[in-house]
A and B are shown apart, each in its own frame.
Chain A
Amino acid sequence: MRPETDIPSEDAPAPSREPLPLRLWNHGVDGLAALGTLMIVVLMGMIFADVLARNLIGGSLPLISELGALTLVMIVFLQLGTTVRNDRLARTEFFLDAVGARRPRLAAFVTGFWHLSGVAVCAGIAWSTWGILMRDLSARNFIGIPGVATMPTWPFRSLILLGIAVATLQFVVQAAIAFRRAAGRPERRA
C-alpha cells in the first residue's frame, strides 16, 4: 500500500484542464464514493444501536450482523472507482520508478497495460455479479429469519453491481490516460 498521510489533502484534480465529460464522470464517481462514505457512518450507527439494545434491552437487534456484512461489501464496491482513480490500490513501485526515470513512456505503457488488466478483472466480476443479481431477483433472495425480520438482497446487489461497473469504466479511463502518455501526447490528469 502506498504511504498515506494521516490527514488527506483535498487533492481534487485541477478541473480547468479537463474536458467536460471527464469532469462530469469524475463527479459521478466521487458521488458514488460519497454514498459509500455515508454508509460507513450508517454502519457505525447500526452497530452502536445494537450494542445499546443488547446492554439496555437485553437482546440483539435482528438482522444487524447480516446487514452489516452486506453493507460492508457494498461500501467496498461503491468506493472502488474513486480508489482506482486516486491510484490507491496496493502495488510495488521500484520497478516502474526505475524504468520511469529513464524511459517514462515505457513505464506509462506498462502502467496502461496493468489498467487494462483492471478492466478485465472488474468486467469479469461485473458479469458474474449480474448473474447473481438475476438469481437474487428470481429466487427472491433475502437475509434474516422468516417470521422475525427479513430484507431482500437485490437492492444491495444492484449497488454492488453499479460500483463494480463504474470501477470497470474508471480503469478504461486510466488506461486511456496512460496510453496517451505512452504515445507522448500532452498529459491530462484524471
Chain B
Amino acid sequence: MTGIEIGAFAIAALILLIVLGMPIGLGMIVVSFVGVSFIRNETVAMRMIGAVANDSLREYLYAVVPLFVLMGLLVTASGVGKDTFDVFERLLRRVRAGLGIATVFANAVFASITGISIASASVFSRIAVPEMVRHGYRRRFATGVVAGSSVLGMLIPPSLLMIVYAVLAEESVGRMFLAGIGPGLLLSVLFSITILLMAYLSPKSVFDREPDLIHQDPVSALALAGKGVPIVVLVTLVLGGLYGGFLNPTEAGAVGALGALAIALLRRSLTRGRFWSLLVETGQVTVSVLFLIMAATFFSRMLAMSGLPNALAETLLQSTIGPYGFLLIFLVLVIVMGFLIDSISIMLILLPIALPVAKAAGFDLIWFGVLTVVAVEIGLLTPPFGLSVYTIKSALGDRTLKVGEIFMGATPFVFAMIAALAIIIAFPPIAVWLARL
C-alpha cells in the first residue's frame, strides 16, 4: 500500500469512528498511530505519540485558551452580558422587532470580549429569550435569534477559532483578529435585515401576538451609560491593549480575565465557591479543546507523512475545477461536516489537507481563513449536532422546548450566513482590508 492510500484509508476510518461516537480526539490518535505504523513502523509511531503529547501544545499562544474561556465565564457571572442587552433594548425599543435586533447587536458587542460562541449562546438565551417571549415574540424566533447571533462570538475578535486558524496557517493572530471585524459587522447587518424582512413580510414567524410596546420607566441617559460602562471597560482593556501596543494576544487574555474578575468582585457577584467552580469549568473546556488540538496535530502529521495532502493539491489544482472550484468544494465540505462535528475539530481535520492546496492556488490565507471560520460556524446552527442550539436548550432548561424548534428558528440565519460567504468571496476587502492595513 502506498502512503497516499494509507492516508485515504485513515480519513475514511476516522469518519466512521466519529460517526460511531468514539471521542474525536481518541479517534484521531488511534488512526494516526496505525497510519504511521504502516507508513513507517511502530517505534516511530510510539515516539510520535509522545512527541505530540509533549511538544504540540507547548506554545505560549495556547495559553490564551484558558484565559479567554475564564474571561467569558467571569463576564457571564458578573452580569455584564445582561447590562449590554439592556442598553440595546433601550436604544431599539421603537424599532419593529427591536428586541431581535437588540439581541444581535448586544451579541456583537459582547463578542468583542468573549472568544467562544457557546458563551454568547448561554448568556443571551437566559437574558434575551425570556424578555422577547414576555413581549409577545414567538419562542422559536427568540431562540433562533440567540442561536444565530451567537456565531458573532467567534467571528468578532477575540476568537478561539481565529487563533486555531492562525496557528495552523502560520498567520499572525493579530491580523486574523482584525480580519474578523468587517465580516462580523456584515453578518450583524445581514442578521438585522433578516429580522426586519421576517417582521414585515411574515409577522407570524416573529410574533405570537402583537408585541407589547415596551413600557419602562424613563431611564436617564446617565443610568443607561452606567450600564454600558463595564463592557466598554473590558472591550477597551482587551482590544485597546491588543492594538494600542501594550499586549500580545496571550496577554490580552490574561488582562481581560483579570479585568472581568475585578468587575465581578466589585459587583459582589462572586463567592469563593463560585469562583472556584468557574475555574474548574475553565479547566474542563480548556482540556477538551486542547486535547483535540493535540490529537489533530498527530493526525495532520500522519497525513503529511503519507504524502496525501501534496497529491491532493496536485490533482485538485491541475484538474479542470480550478481554484474557485476547489474553494466551493472546500466550503461545502466544511458545512456538511458541520452537521456532525464541532467547529474546532472540522478545522483541525480539514485544514491540514486544504491549506497546502489553498496556498498553491495563490489564495490570500487571511481571506481563506475568514471564509473557513464563517462556514465552520454554520455548523453551530445545523442539526443533528448544533452546539449553539444545544447550549441554548441546556441553558434555558425548559422541557417543553424541543431542540427541533430552535433549529427551525435558526434556519433563516443559516441562509444569512451563506449570503455572507458569497459577499465575502465577491468582495475580499471586507475581510482583508483591515488586516492588511
- List residues of A whose CB falls within 8 A of some B CB: 1-8, 10, 33-34, 36-37, 40-41, 43-44, 47-48, 50-51, 55, 65-66, 68-73, 75-77, 79-80, 82-83, 86, 88-96, 110-111, 114, 117-118, 120-121, 124-125, 127-129, 131-132, 157, 160, 164
Known: A36-B283, A48-B254. A91 touches B60 (CB 8 A): no
Which chain B residue shows the least CB distance to A113? B22
Q: Which 10 residue pairs are nearest across A and B when measured between Cβ atoms?
A: A128-B50, A3-B390, A47-B254, A89-B23, A6-B122, A96-B21, A8-B281, A65-B60, A3-B391, A83-B287
Indicate if the CB atoms of B26 and A117 lie closer than 8 Å.
Answer: yes
Size category, B interface:
35 or more
- List residues of B whose CB falls within 8 A of some A CB: 18-27, 29-30, 33, 46-47, 49-51, 53-54, 57-60, 62-63, 65-67, 70, 73, 76-77, 118-119, 122-123, 246-247, 250-251, 253-255, 257-258, 273-274, 276-292, 294, 340-342, 344-345, 384-385, 387, 390-391, 393-395
The minimal Cβ–Cβ distance linking B195 to chain A, given in whole angstroms, is: 24
Residues in B with CB closer than 8 Å to A50 are: 251
Residues in B with CB closer than 8 Å to A70 are: 58
Indicate if the CB atoms of B283 and A73 lie closer than 8 Å.
Answer: no
Residues in B with CB closer than 8 Å to A36 are: 283
Residues in B with CB closer than 8 Å to A89 are: 23-26, 288, 291
Residues in A with CB closer than 8 Å to B282 are: 37, 40
Q: 8 A–B contact pairs at CB < 8 A? A: A10-B273, A41-B279, A51-B247, A69-B58, A76-B286, A80-B291, A90-B23, A117-B22
Which chain B residue shows the least CB distance to A66? B60
Known: A51-B254, A79-B283, A93-B385. A3 touches B394 (CB 8 A): yes
CA distance A71 to B19 in the complex (A): 34
Indicate if the CB atoms of B21 and A92 lie closer than 8 Å.
Answer: yes
The minimal Cβ–Cβ distance linking A69 to chain B, given in whole angstroms, is: 5
Residues in A with CB closer than 8 Å to B344 are: 1, 90
Indicate if the CB atoms of A3 and B76 lie closer than 8 Å.
Answer: no
Indicate if the CB atoms of A121 and B26 lie closer than 8 Å.
Answer: yes
Residues in A with CB closer than 8 Å to B273 are: 10
Q: Add 6 more A-B contacts to A37-B280, A69-B57, A117-B30 (CB < 8 A).
A: A40-B70, A44-B67, A77-B53, A88-B287, A117-B26, A124-B46
Indicate if the CB atoms of A75 and B291 lie closer than 8 Å.
Answer: no
Known: A117-B30, A118-B26. A91 touches B18 (CB 8 A): yes
Residues in B with CB closer than 8 Å to A111 are: 21
The minimal Cβ–Cβ distance linking B272 to chain A, given in whole angstroms, is: 13
Q: Pick the contact of A125 from B49, B250, B395 — CB < 8 Å?
A: B49
Which chain A residue shows the least CB distance to B116? A4
Indicate if the CB atoms of B19 and A69 lie closer than 8 Å.
Answer: no
Most buried by A among B25, B247, B287: B287
Known: A48-B258, A68-B250, A83-B291. A94 touches B24 (CB 8 A): no
